[in-house]
Each structure stands twice: as structure tokens, then as C-alpha cells.
Structure 1
Amino acid sequence: MSVRIETDTVTYQKTVLPCGLRVVTETIPSVRSVAVGLWVDVGSRDEAEEEAGITHFIEHMVFKGTERRRTHQIAQRIEYVGGYLNAFTTKEHTCYYVRVLDEYLDRALDTLIDLAFRPRFPEREIEKEKEVILEEMKMYEDTPDEYIFDLFEELVYAGHPLGRPIVGREETVRSFTRAMLLDFMARHYTPDRMVLAAAGRLRHERVVALTERLLRGVAPRPTNNRQRQPVPAYRPGERIERRSVQQAHLVLGGRGYDLHHPRRAALTVLNTLLGGGMSSRLNQNIRERYGYCYNIYSFVNLHADVGDWGVYMGTDPRRVARAEQLIRRELERLVQEPVGRRVLTHAKNQVKGTLMLGQENMSSRMMRLGRQELYFGRYYSLDEALQEADRVTAEEVQAVARELFAEQPYSKVVLLPE
């Protein structure tokens, strides 16, 4: 199967290889670099209880040597030509990515496919990496403005894998064996659940030909009919912890929309209005007017079948109650009062500007390509995204505020100094 879409400046193409892997590209002739990502449709929410953290652990371990290269050779292969190689794991997918000059495209593809299809998982490296991951856990716990989000998700998705930290738990990480890693990869790293996304100065036909050559011998596997665990009904909760911190940290929020929700664009505009920058209502009314905080913002997380929203703030412990009152007042204001036309226009311009500026970076374009294919199985052009934002009305924004802020109780997490 092959798809081609052309605009004035970009050519998008998609090809499904015989083994089932999808190749999606954006050709941008005006640049001299390419960003390539190998996406795997598996994240921490796909783990069994005893596997918590294994997706993230595998993402680390593939860099510890493949059938063709040792650890230092993997990094050197990209860095010695001025490129950048990294990876990340989310709740729903894993991505290995490279950015290089366009003349090294074949090297980038070769490296990524080697990592995902031919890791060795040396026993000695597995034991060493366990200690690395445990140190990573401690790092997060020592960073309250990150750790608090793990506690918040644990409340919002109580009893579900989405509520677990991506890095897992100490007892599960210590239990991982080479056989467990290989078994998990065999179940989830199948070509039909992979997307190769590339953006920059490239020819789609060459990317396809190189990828096919590198995957020679990889046979298609039966479609993996994965059934993700359904998310239970939302039950609000509250958690207050005392830790060795100087500031109090607060997150207030609840369940939101999924990625396919028809009001997704209106939620993005609402989030921008509420806490999406220095001109947002939270920043202007709580930081600038009262001086209660240095950092305050709102956030939205959109997953395939569910989502969440919230407000984060760090403040003096004596001001937590008053600050929470002020946040709730801003939320109530959005429920009760329609947004003015000029304010709405400014918020939509901010959303559109962020979208357009992001497209000037090849890595951002590649990330957008990969996510679109994984979640929607299709290409959303920049014009389509801009039009979606333009269509948002004040009535839609208020309707979203009522659904999320007024029709469900909030969950709350507070970290206080010991």
C-alpha cells in the first residue's frame, strides 16, 4: 500500500512493507538534515503487574549491544558524524530516534533497525542497568515537581497500568531476567506494530528501499490482537505527603478527553487560556497579581482512550490553601463566563503559532508523523491542524470547561515540607 500527499513545500508519503512495518515520510528539500524515528506501539500501560517498568528497561537495554555492535560502537556510529541518538518510553509507545545530516540517512536507518531487531541483552549488563534504573527512580523522587505527577496519575487512574510510573517499581525491576525481556519483545516488537517515521531532506523511495534491505529475512507475523485493559470509572482522590522539600507543590485536576474526542481542539485552546504561558489567566492572576509562585501552569494528557488535565503550582507552604482557592476561582470563571472574542483569538493564535514554529524543527516533524500514524493511521497536514484550531468557538470552550471543571470532582496531590 502506498499514499502520497503534496503541498507547496512538503511531500508526505506512506508505504506498508510486506512484513507489516509502516514507513511514513515528509520530504522537505530546503533543509540539510533528516530526523528518523522507529516507533513501537507498546508502552507502560501494556505491562502486566509483574512486568511494571519492563518497556522502559528494554528501551535502555537495546543500547547495551546488538548482534553487530558493542555499546560504545552504537553511540559512536552516530555521534562521530555529528548526529544525535536517543530514545524514550511513554505510557502508550516507545521511540528510538536519530537526527543526522541527510548524507548519513542510511547509517541512521541501519542503527535504529539494529537496536530494535537485534539486541543481545548481555546478562552482566542487565544487572548493571537495574542499578541505573533504581538511581533514575531516586532522581525522580528527589525532584518534587516531577514526582508529584506520578502521585497524581496514581490517583486519577487508580488500579490501572496508566497509574503506574513508567520506570516501574524497585521490586519488579530487580526481578527482570533476560528471558523476560526477550519474551516481552517477541510479543510486542512485531513489525505490524512498528512505524518508521522520517522528515527532512530525503526521498521516500530510498527510505523504503533501505528499510526493506535492512529488514530482509524479517517475516510478517500474525496480527497481534492486543486488548488493552479498560480504564475504570473515575473516582477522585486526595493525597498529602510530607517530604524533604523547601516549597509546597500542588496538583489539582481530573479526567479529561482522549485523543479522538471531537472537542480535543477546544480543550487545547482552553488549556492555553488557563495556563499555557506568561499571558495565561493562572500566571497573570496568581503569579503576577499576588506573587504567590514562581511556576504555575495547566496541562493536558491525551491517551488513545482516556485523558487527564490538571494545574501544577509550587508555592510557600503557608499559601497552599489560599492558592488552591484562587486556582478554583479561575476554573469556575471559565465555567460561568464565556471567553471574549479578542481573548479567544489570542489563544487560538498562540496554539497555531506553537504548531507552526514546531514544524521548523525536523525532530518535531518526525515526532508528529510517528504519533499521527500510531494513533490515527493517517496524515494530518499543518493546514488541517490550523483550521481545526480556527473553528473553535467560545461556546465550545465553555462547554469543555463545564464538562471537565464543573461536572466532576477534582483529585488533589500536595507535597509539603517535613
Structure 2
Amino acid sequence: MAQFRHHTLANGLRIAAEIDNRCYSAAMGYFVRAGSRNETDIESGLSHFLEHMMFKGTAKRSAADVNRELDELGGQSNAYTTEEQTVYYATVLPKFQDRIVELLTDMLSPTLDPREFETERQVILEEIAKYEDQPPFGAFERAMERHFGPRGLGRRVLGTAESIETMRVETMRDYFNRRYRGENIVLAATGNVDFDALVDAVEHQTRQWADRPCPPEPQADDPQSLPDGISMDAELDISDAAQAYFVQMSPGPSMTSQDRYAARILASIVGDEGGSRLFWDLIDTGRAEAATVWPQEFTDCGAWFAYLVCEPAAMQGNRKWMADVLRRTAEQGVTSEELEQAVNKATAACIMQSERPSNRLSSVGSRWLICEEYASTDDLLERFKKVDQQAVANAAKKYLCQETTDVLATASEAAV
């Protein structure tokens, strides 16, 4: 049986662990409240840029040392940045717990060398260019910008080419010292973990974090202006695009909403990638390549997404078809058979995810960082099983009947 333990250090760092000594591995990760919604215009893309720089050396290790030691431990490691957090994680054998914790902790005190900064700037610019060549990515970015505004949750995680080209290493240092403080960070662990040893080690290794300077907040953005490189048009002209890409957004449940589990079940019934209403009507019939819906939860709000990919000439008709499916669902609710199937899918996914500590890490770390809440696998199973037809019907009326933000990406000559 898994056991949950947590502890807060004097410097504000929180440690949360789901311990199961039956596991053959242990997963560790630092979850930092530093995402694109925390940035200003001059910092746009900095959270993600800084994520890259964490692998570029510390006072104790060169960039080569960091990557070599990660490889030596023989597990899996990586990092990612979202609108609300940056995460650095690794999965190793339990005997390497001390080594991986020391390495990850050291990485969170980067040198931010100016030469590495300039090299990585070019890597980020190439990454932005790569994604700009992918129509779905641009459509989702534009939808977020139009729905939330170009700042806050609508700010691009990668930033823009303009913001990265003008970024200064001094700006990064100030941002690091403001955001990478104990009170903004959770160290999460799952699997075969020695919790007492973990707390003792991290308490010693992070003792100097409290001494980090706290620079003043940067100048506030002008809300009447657009950040450099941002356009708010509802249509994107994608050269050489063979298909049309449609993204629709409306409000959805937050991470603390009581109806978020009903919304997830609703999304499975209406727009799961297999066996849903949209699947049978649009994908199985060959009308569209993709037709799906899902909720995305943030700290204080959420979003409901609808996504459609098809031939440009079929887009108008398919959009109407999708709208009709959503309208009928809001008016009529769902059947008991659909509910049973969706709940079975959700609970099976929870059980399969719980089999590996690495799969549980994000759930444990993110929820403790954002909500200071722990939900075991059994808790999640119980919440899904409690969802009934009325709860799904209420979620459908609430989330499928709101004003939407629409974005269409297609080649200009194929505009629909």
C-alpha cells in the first residue's frame, strides 16, 4: 500500500512523496512555480529558456558532467515547461536515490554562463522556427492568445523570436532569483523512496537557497499594446498546408473545480480519439482526420478545447457537424451505456498509470505545488466512479453552451 508523506523545510521548499516500497524504481522531480503566465513582455519565453540553461553547468559541474552523470545513473530524465510550472525529473533504481537528488538539486543552482546563454539562444530560435512550420501548434498558440489575451495564461511558452532575440542574461538571472526560491518549489518523489533520507539530504543541499537575492519585480507591461511578434487574427495563413486546422476554446473547469471529473468523462464520451460521438460521426466516416474535445485545467480557471482537422473544402460542413454534436449533447445529456464505458476507460487508465512511479510523479508534484493536495490512485478511482449521468449532463450544459474563441489555420488559397 502506498503511503503519502510531506515536509516543509525552513527555506520554504516543500517535499511530497508517495512511497511504495514494492516498486522497483523511484522517481524524483523538482516542480517550480515558474511558467509563461509569470513572465512579462521582456521575459517572454524565459521560463522555457531557463529550463534549457539548467543543463548547462553549475559551480560543481560542467554541462558535459551534468549530462554524463544523468546517463551514468541509467534511468530516464528530462524537463518541461508549461504555462504555470517548470519541471525537472528523473527515474532511477532506488540505490541511486542519493545521487540523483544531489544532481537535480545542484542543477537548480546554474551558473547561467553568458557563452552558454548565447549558444542556447540559437537553439530556442530553431525550436520556435520548427514549431512555426507545424500548423496545429500555431493554431493552439493563437487560440490561447485570443481566449486569455496575449499575456498571462495566453503568453506563449516558447516566447516569440523577437523576445528571444532581445533576451539578456541579466534578465534571466533576475527572473531565476525571483522564481527559484524555496517557497515556489516542490520536490516530489514516488515509488521506492527513503523519505527520511530524502529530507535530510535536501535540507543540507538547499541550505543556501534562502540566501538568493530577491530582485524587484520588472516594470509592468502596457495592457494597451501587443507584445512584439504577436498577432490576434482569427485566421492563420499557413503556406503549403494541405489540410485545414480548427481550434475552438471556451471556459472549462479549474484544478480545484468540483465538476472537473464529470467534465473529463464528458470529454471522453463526446470527443475521445476512439469510440466517442465525434469519432463515429467524423473520423470513422472519413470526413475528418481528427475531431476531439478535452478540458485543460489551470490553477484558477480552465479551458475547454475542440479540435478539428480535415480537407479545407470539408471544413465548413464539419464545423457545423461538430457544433450539432455538442449542442445535442448539451440538450439531451448522455446515455447510461456511454457513461459506463467512459468511467471504465478513466478508471483503467488510472490503474495502469499507477503501475509506474514515473507516471504518478507529475500528478503528485503538480497538485502539491498548485493546490497542496494529494490524491491517491484510490481517491481518483472513487471520484470517477461517483460521476453519474446528471453530473455529466450538468457539465455538458455548463461547458458546451458558452461563447467560443475560434481559430482557423489553412493555406490562403484554400480558405474556407
TM-score, with structure 1 as normaliser? 0.91
83, 91, 105: which one pairs with 1:99? 91
Corresponding residue for residue 314 of structure 1: 309
User: Any conservation in 1 of the 2:42–2:167 contact (CA below 8 Å)?
Assistant: no
User: Any conservation in 1 of the 2:299–2:370 contact (CA below 8 Å)?
Assistant: yes
What per-residue deviation string (whole Å, max 9, x for no partner) do you get for residues 370-390 of structure 1? 012012212112222111111
Corresponding residue for residue 73 of structure 1: 65
Cα distance change of structure 1 residues 19 and 87 upon mapping to structure 2, 3 Å threshold: same
The answer to whether residue 268 in structure 2 is matched with residue 272 in structure 1 is yes
The answer to whether residue 169 in structure 2 is matched with residue 178 in structure 1 is yes
Shift of 1:222: 11
User: Any conservation in 1 of the 2:177–2:214 contact (CA below 8 Å)?
Assistant: no
Tell me how far apart the structure 1 counterparts of residues 6 and 214 of structure 2 sit (CA, whole Å): 20
What per-residue deviation string (whole Å, max 9, x for no partner) do you get for residues 99-136 of structure 1? 111111111111111111x2111111111111111111
Corresponding residue for residue 363 of structure 1: 358
Shift of 1:224: 11
Corresponding residue for residue 139 of structure 1: 130
Cα distance change of structure 1 residues 322 and 45 upon mapping to structure 2, 3 Å threshold: same
Cα distance change of structure 1 residues 225 and 200 upon mapping to structure 2, 3 Å threshold: farther
Cα distance change of structure 1 residues 387 and 225 upon mapping to structure 2, 3 Å threshold: farther
Q: Equivalent pairs: percent with the same residue?
A: 29
User: Any conservation in 2 of the 1:253–1:410 contact (CA below 8 Å)?
Assistant: yes
* AA matched with 2:358: S
Tell me how far apart the structure 2 counterparts of residues 277 and 249 of structure 1 sit (CA, whole Å): 16
Question: Which deviates the most, 66-75 or 295-304?
Answer: 295-304
Tell me how far apart the structure 2 counterparts of residues 252 and 216 of structure 1 sit (CA, whole Å): 47
Tell me how far apart the structure 1 counterparts of residues 251 and 128 of structure 2 sit (CA, whole Å): 26
* AA matched with 1:273: I
5+ residue gaps, structure 2: 224-231
Shift of 1:42: 1.6
Tell me how far apart the structure 2 counterparts of residues 222 and 266 of structure 1 sit (CA, whole Å): 44
What per-residue deviation string (whole Å, max 9, x for no partner) do you get for residues 385-405 of structure 1? 111111212122122211222
Tell me how far apart the structure 2 counterparts of residues 145 and 13 of structure 1 sit (CA, whole Å): 41
Corresponding residue for residue 5 of structure 1: none
Q: Aligned to 1:64, what secondary structure does the other structure show?
A: coil
User: Any conservation in 1 of the 2:177–2:213 contact (CA below 8 Å)?
Assistant: no
Q: Aligned to 1:311, what secondary structure does the other structure show?
A: strand
* AA matched with 1:413: V
14, 23, 40: which one pairs with 2:32? 40
* AA matched with 2:381: L
Q: Aligned to 1:168, what secondary structure does the other structure show?
A: coil
Q: Aligned to 1:365, what secondary structure does the other structure show?
A: helix
User: Where does 1:206-225 land on structure 2 (aligned, <5 Å)?
Assistant: 206-219=197-210
Tell me how far apart the structure 1 counterparts of residues 373 and 24 of structure 2 sit (CA, whole Å): 26
Tell me how far apart the structure 2 counterparts of residues 107 and 42 of structure 1 sit (CA, whole Å): 25
* AA matched with 1:190: R
5+ residue gaps, structure 1: 1-8
The answer to whether residue 57 in structure 2 is matched with residue 62 in structure 1 is no
Query: Cα RMSD between the aligned structures?
Result: 2.1
Q: Aligned to 1:195, what secondary structure does the other structure show?
A: strand
Shift of 1:161: 2.1
* AA matched with 2:398: E
* AA matched with 1:20: G
Tell me how far apart the structure 2 counterparts of residues 223 and 51 of structure 1 sit (CA, whole Å): 16
Shift of 1:220: 7.4
Tell me how far apart the structure 2 counterparts of residues 224 and 197 of structure 1 sit (CA, whole Å): 27
User: Any conservation in 2 of the 1:38–1:97 contact (CA below 8 Å)?
Assistant: yes
Q: Aligned to 1:414, what secondary structure does the other structure show?
A: strand
User: Any conservation in 2 of the 1:238–1:412 contact (CA below 8 Å)?
Assistant: no
Cα distance change of structure 1 residues 225 and 400 upon mapping to structure 2, 3 Å threshold: farther
Shift of 1:33: 1.3
User: Any conservation in 2 of the 1:78–1:107 contact (CA below 8 Å)?
Assistant: no
Corresponding residue for residue 404 of structure 1: 399
Cα distance change of structure 1 residues 185 and 222 upon mapping to structure 2, 3 Å threshold: closer
User: Any conservation in 2 of the 1:250–1:314 contact (CA below 8 Å)?
Assistant: yes
User: Any conservation in 2 of the 1:191–1:220 contact (CA below 8 Å)?
Assistant: no
Q: Aligned to 1:278, what secondary structure does the other structure show?
A: coil
Tell me how far apart the structure 2 counterparts of residues 225 and 193 of structure 1 sit (CA, whole Å): 16
User: Any conservation in 1 of the 2:333–2:396 contact (CA below 8 Å)?
Assistant: no
